[in-house]
Amino acid sequence: MRSEKEMFELLISTARNDERILAAYLEGSRTVPQVPRDIFQDYDLVYVVTETRPFIEEKEWINRFGQRLYMQYPDEGIWDNGNHENCYGWLMQFADGNRLDLHVCTLAFVKEQLKKGEPYRILLDKTGCLPQPGENLEKVYWVKKPSQEEFLAVCNEFWWCLNNVAKGLWREELPYVMEQLNFVIRPMLFKVLAWKAGKDHDFSASVGKGGKYLKNYLPEAVYESYMRTYPAGEKEAIQKSVFEMCSLFETMAREVAQALGFSYHEEEGRNSRAYLEHVCQLPKDAKEIY
């Protein structure tokens, strides 16, 4: 596996030797010092170019970066962003284990992107065209303190959508139940857990994409409870995980509300859970809910 030093030498020398490339900079986890380093970190690289078309049309030019196992063209086919003249990318998994997410972008496009304030690291700037990164740009990834309105909306979404889980469990429509749990209800639980982590660390913590760093910011018992909300694909396990989600959400929502001085609708959660428990106990030949 090529070392980080070897990879950077390749990426920088490619930019230096190609007059069409004005600058090169790095995005992603390698620009944030707090992110743990490991062998799976990819290289999120942007080449600032005079125009993108020559790179798109020259099909073989990416071969210089190494032998590929497989790759993706994220801006082609059904993924086409319709903006090839400003930005185009190649996602490459190499045979030596390294991965490169490479984009060529015009200077005007890049300057607009950098205004978003996300971290970046300049590797090469031939003409001084790129603004220097500011300090503490990783703040953009920190958990944001919610408003009272957002907090109540998240709580309402969590408790309301359990209605769908309840009927799905009774009907034994398990794929539907799992979809509701993972794509509707879990994101609400995740928000509350992230706010818990944020308020415990003065809202200067990043829980990472998909909550991959939650373990670093939550008490061990809370994190273990969260892990128990991921069930096996059978009815009893799913039902058990749903009640774990309810208990965890309720505890965390109350704690966040108290810490931030928010109101929390106790009756909403109490009634939602009671309905769920009632439906889960209904016989399969029930003719009425109540």
Token pair of 245, please?
């989600």
The pLDDT tens digits for 211-234 are 999 999 999 999 999 999 999 989
Count of alpha carbons within 13 angstroms of residue 252, beta-carbon side: 30
Token pair of 221, please?
């018992």
Kindly indicate the confidence band of residue 138, based on its pLDDT and cuts at 50, 70 and 90: confident
Of all residues in the chain, the percent with pLDDT exceeding 90 is 90
* Element (DSSP H or E) covering residue 193: helix 186-200
Taken in order 196, 201, 205, 207, the sign of the CA dihedral is negative
Of all residues in the chain, the percent with pLDDT exceeding 70 is 100
The pLDDT mean for the chain works out to 95
The pLDDT tens digits for 188-199 are 999 999 999 999
Weakest mean pLDDT among 76-80, 226-230, 280-284? 76-80
Q: Quote the pLDDT of residue 227.
A: 97
Q: Quote the pLDDT of residue 45.
A: 98
The pLDDT tens digits for 255-264 are 999 999 999 9
Kindly indicate the confidence band of residue 6, based on its pLDDT and cuts at 50, 70 and 90: very high
Average pLDDT score over residue span 44-60: 95
Q: In angstroms, rounded to a whole number, what is the distance separating the alpha carbons of residues 120 and 262?
A: 36
The pLDDT tens digits for 158-176 are 999 999 999 999 999 999 9
Residue 270 pLDDT more than 90? yes
Q: Quote the pLDDT of residue 81.
A: 78
Average pLDDT score over residue span 19-36: 92
Residue 82 pLDDT more than 90? no
Q: Quote the pLDDT of residue 137.
A: 80
Average pLDDT score over residue span 146-160: 98
Which whole-number Å values give the CA distances from 124 to 30, 129, 180, in the listed order?
16, 10, 46
CA dihedral 73, 74, 75, 76 (to 10 degrees): 50
Q: Quote the pLDDT of residue 198.
A: 96
Residue 77 pLDDT more than 90? no
Q: Quote the pLDDT of residue 235.
A: 94
Q: Quote the pLDDT of residue 274.
A: 97
Q: Quote the pLDDT of residue 266.
A: 96
Q: Quote the pLDDT of residue 157.
A: 98
Residue 69 pLDDT more than 90? yes
In DSSP notation, 7-59 reads HHHHHHHHHHT-TTEEEEEEESGGG-TTSPP-TT--EEEEEEES-SHHHHH-T
Residue 136 pLDDT more than 80? no
Q: Which residue has the tokens 């993706």?
A: 72
Q: Quote the pLDDT of residue 72.
A: 95
